[in-house]
Amino acid sequence: MGAGRWQPEPAQLARIRQEIHYSPDTFHARRQDPALLREFPEGLDMSQSLRTAPKGYDRTDPDIEWLRLKSFFVWRTFSDAEVLRPDFPDRVLQAWQAAQPWVQFLNEAMTEG
């Protein structure tokens, strides 16, 4: 199960980066939310990023490691045993509710402007 934006279109990616740059406190609060990390313990997928600063950003920006990301996505797996449990739909709902503020941050970033 995952939540966020996996390889968004360039215009969307630019808006997300802009929102991180302009609202770093909100970004960090969302990505470090205890409920999100409880359901998605790996946190934000950091596997794909630019080698240098994106165009328009200084490589010494304090949030450069986040601005370099190509995706803004959290994910988790469920075991076969978890999927077969009668309460599995409730677990999925719980995980989705934990991810909702994160997704809302990204959606708002992509629709502003």
Alpha-carbon dihedral 12, 73, 87, 89, rounded to 10 degrees: 20
Q: How far apart are CA 5 and CA 26, in angstroms?
A: 17
Q: Count Cα neighbours of 30 within 13 Å in the Cβ-side half-sphere.
A: 26
CB 26 within 8 A of CB 93: no
- pTM, entire model: 0.89
Q: What is the pLDDT of residues 58-102, one digit of tens each?
A: 999 999 999 999 999 999 999 999 999 999 999 999 999 999 999
